[in-house]
Each structure stands twice: as structure tokens, then as C-alpha cells.
């Protein structure tokens, strides 16, 4: 069994082949040359952080299937400064167009010491921002972005830090490690 932890940079597609009709974007093949491994889950091209790749179908299912509720922790830079009511709404679950989310763990955190993003997040003098840590147990399409927007704080930067027992600790942007 192979399991690879990859720190996916902003703008990289979570697939090994480019989109035939899309704009040219880097893919996993630009970073990882390991035949037979596939992403266990996805990160949008505009999200960064931990992506797990494996050649083991059972492990892939355990990581991605909602039945197993693998916790996924994100460091999220949001527009504005969420108050306790906004954080509590995330903790209880948020109503989205595709239904209620499961309760999440949500807390404000100090700005993490991360690599610079390229391109940088747009800075606005008149609109404050802050960071939250958000742990969810689902993996709906663009779920974290939709949850923070639903409580009035759109996501500016999204970094997946942890999936289950695996994290980005010690892994630089664009690097991977086999475990």
C-alpha cells in the first residue's frame, strides 16, 4: 500500500491530466511521478494544503466516504471578524442549498505561519480579516467556503491542514512525503 501526503499549492488541479478545454493549469503530474496513485478526495484549484493520494481502494474509501466521517481541519482566512454567534452557527451546522451541514468544530485562531500564497490574497484596508480553524466531517463541494459565506464571512484563503490522523506538519508547499 502507498499513501502520499502532498501539500497542494494554490492553482493546482487535483488530477494528473489537464482539462482538455480549460485554461492551462498545473496538475498533480507536475509534482508527483508515482504511477497507480489517485487522490483520496479533492481540493479545488483555489484551495491549498493537504491532499492524500493512495493506490489502496479501501483506504481511499475510508478517507472519502461520508459514512466514516473522517475529520478534516481547515485553516480559513475569512473576510470580517466572526463573532461568537457566527462561530456557534458553524458549530451547530449551517443550512446550505443542499441541506444542513453536520456540526463542526470552529474557533478563531491567530494568523498561522504559512507559506506566501501566489497570487496573494487581496488586501483591503477598510475590511478586516481573521483566521478560524474549522473541522468538518463531510466533504461537500466547496463546503467550507459555502459555510463561512452562510454566516456572513466569505473565505479569502483556504488551507486544509489535517485529514484524519495525517497533517501538513513539516511538509513545505509543493512537496510530498510517502508514509
Residues with a known catalytic role = 44
**DSSP character for 136?**
E
10 Å CB burial of residue 80 (0-12, 13-18, 19+) is: middle
CA distance linking residue 168 with residue 147, whole number of Å: 23
Please list the alpha-helical segments (H only) found in the chain: 57-64, 84-92, 143-150
Retrieve residue 70's grid coordinates.
Answer: 473522517
Retrieve residue 47's grid coordinates.
Answer: 484551495
Crossing angle between the packed helical segments 84-92 and 143-150, to the nearest 10 degrees: 130
CA distance linking residue 76 with residue 36, whole number of Å: 32
SS3 category, 76: strand
Amino acid at each position: 500500500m502507498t499513501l502520499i501526503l502532498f501539500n497542494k499549492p494554490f492553482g493546482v488541479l487535483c488530477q494528473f491530466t489537464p482539462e482538455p478545454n480549460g485554461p492551462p493549469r498545473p496538475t498533480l503530474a507536475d509534482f508527483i511521478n508515482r504511477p497507480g496513485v489517485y487522490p483520496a478526495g479533492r481540493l479545488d484549484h483555489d484551495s491549498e494544503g493537504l491532499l492524500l493520494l493512495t493506490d489502496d481502494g479501501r483506504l481511499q474509501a475510508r478517507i472519502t466516504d461520508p459514512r466514516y466521517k473522517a475529520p478534516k481541519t481547515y485553516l480559513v482566512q475569512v473576510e470580517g471578524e466572526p463573532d461568537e454567534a457566527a462561530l456557534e452557527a458553524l458549530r451547530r451546522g449551517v443550512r446550505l442549498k443542499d441541506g444542513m451541514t453536520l456540526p463542526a468544530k470552529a474557533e478563531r485562531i491567530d494568523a498561522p505561519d504559512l507559506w506566501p500564497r501566489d497570487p496573494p490574497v487581496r488586501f483591503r484596508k477598510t475590511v478586516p480579516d481573521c483566521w478560524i480553524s474549522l473541522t468538518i466531517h463531510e466533504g461537500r463541494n466547496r463546503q467550507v467556503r459555502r459555510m463561512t459565506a452562510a454566516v456572513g464571512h466569505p473565505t479569502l484563503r483556504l488551507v486544509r491542514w489535517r485529514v484524519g490522523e495525517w497533517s501538513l506538519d513539516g511538509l513545505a508547499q509543493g512537496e510530498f512525503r510517502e508514509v
